[in-house]
């Protein structure tokens, strides 16, 4: 079996098993986001996940996005989903024909959407795209997912998509049924904290004191302390360390490089 068609050792097998086990507890949009930015992220690192599920009695897909990127906004999503020429709609139409993972920018041996250029991906703040779907019993699309801002996009990515589609579909379908997540729009847990609070917390994660944070962000020490007090209140924790741990668990910030 070729390297790109298998998991990379024991660690990836553990990550896949963890994805399967933790998916059973996912019941809401918030939990889905945390799961996608937690266990799922460890196997397929990404910042944006666009999800589509079939609409009963129709050939259409109801689309929604989950993002950990402060750059990807509603207007980017709406442009990408334009029914006439949006990149996401082009990718979905491509999948309806090919039924294969769509990787953009793509290795030459993978079929791509003609309109997809690096310039378009950059303009939409997507950077790249790794998309795949799942057929329903009647031959139509049951579910479709697109990962963007994927790290280490390459030859192994299509294989990972093939592995993840059944569990992604089952998990998201459960969320739609129980949480009403199919109403469209976005989930962004980053809105729990402001952009500045996330910056402060990232500095704290990296071991900086309030004085260091103030110096790095050009704010006063008192302002840095106030930000941390607000962060602890929002996350319902008592200490700086607990705030960092909870933010990582929720997918608000990444672990430090030493921990990842």
Domains and CATH numbers, the chain: 3-189 (3.30.450.40), 193-250 (1.10.10.10)
pLDDT tens-digit readout, 79-95: 999 988 899 998 998 89
- DSSP string of 159-212, one letter each residue: HHHHHHHHHHHHHHHHHHHHH-GGG-SEE-GGGGS-HHHHHHHHHHHTT--HHH
In this model, does residue 126 exceed pLDDT 90?
Answer: yes
CA distance 113 to 103: 9
Q: For residue 139, name the pLDDT band (cuts at 50, 70, 90).
A: confident
pLDDT of residue 112: 46
Number of neighbouring beta carbons within 10 Å of residue 76: 20
pLDDT tens-digit readout, 36-81: 988 999 999 999 999 999 877 666 789 999 988 888 988 999 999 9
What would the 3-class secondary structure string for 231-250 be?
A: HHHHHCCCCHHHHHHHHHHH
In this model, does residue 114 exceed pLDDT 60?
Answer: no
Extract the tokens encoding 29: 């949009």
Q: How far is CA 242 from CA 10, 42, 236, in A?
A: 30, 21, 9
Cβ atoms of 136 and 142 closer than 8 Å: yes
CA distance 191 to 67: 10
Q: For residue 111, name the pLDDT band (cuts at 50, 70, 90).
A: very low
pLDDT of residue 230: 87
pTM of the model: 0.70
């Amino acid at each position: 079996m070729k390297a790109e068609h298998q998991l990379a050792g024991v660690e990836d097998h553990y990550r896949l098993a963890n994805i399967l086990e933790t998916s059973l507890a996912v019941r809401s949009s918030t939990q889905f986001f945390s799961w996608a930015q937690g266990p799922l992220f460890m196997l397929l690192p990404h910042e944006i996940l666009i999800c589509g599920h079939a609409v009963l009695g129709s050939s259409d897909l109801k689309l929604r996005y989950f993002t950990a990127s402060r750059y990807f906004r509603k207007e980017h999503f709406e442009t990408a989903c334009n029914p006439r020429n949006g990149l996401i709609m082009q990718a979905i139409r491509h999948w309806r024909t090919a039924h294969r993972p769509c990787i953009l920018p793509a290795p030459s041996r993978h079929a791509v959407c003609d309109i997809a250029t690096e310039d378009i991906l950059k303009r939409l703040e997507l950077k790249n795209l790794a998309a795949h779907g799942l057929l329903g019993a009647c031959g139509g699309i049951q579910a479709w997912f697109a990962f963007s801002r994927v790290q280490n996009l390459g030859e192994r990515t299509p294989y990972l998509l093939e592995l993840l589609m059944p569990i992604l579909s089952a998990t998201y379908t459960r969320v739609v049924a129980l949480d009403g997540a199919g109403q469209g729009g976005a989930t962004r847990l980053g809105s729990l904290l402001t952009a500045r609070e996330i910056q402060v917390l990232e500095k704290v994660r990296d071991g900086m004191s309030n004085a260091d944070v103030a110096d790095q962000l050009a704010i006063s020490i008192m302002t840095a302390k106030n930000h941390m007090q607000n962060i602890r209140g929002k996350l319902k924790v008592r200490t700086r360390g607990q705030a960092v741990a909870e933010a990582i668990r929720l997918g608000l910030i990444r672990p430090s490089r030493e921990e990842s």
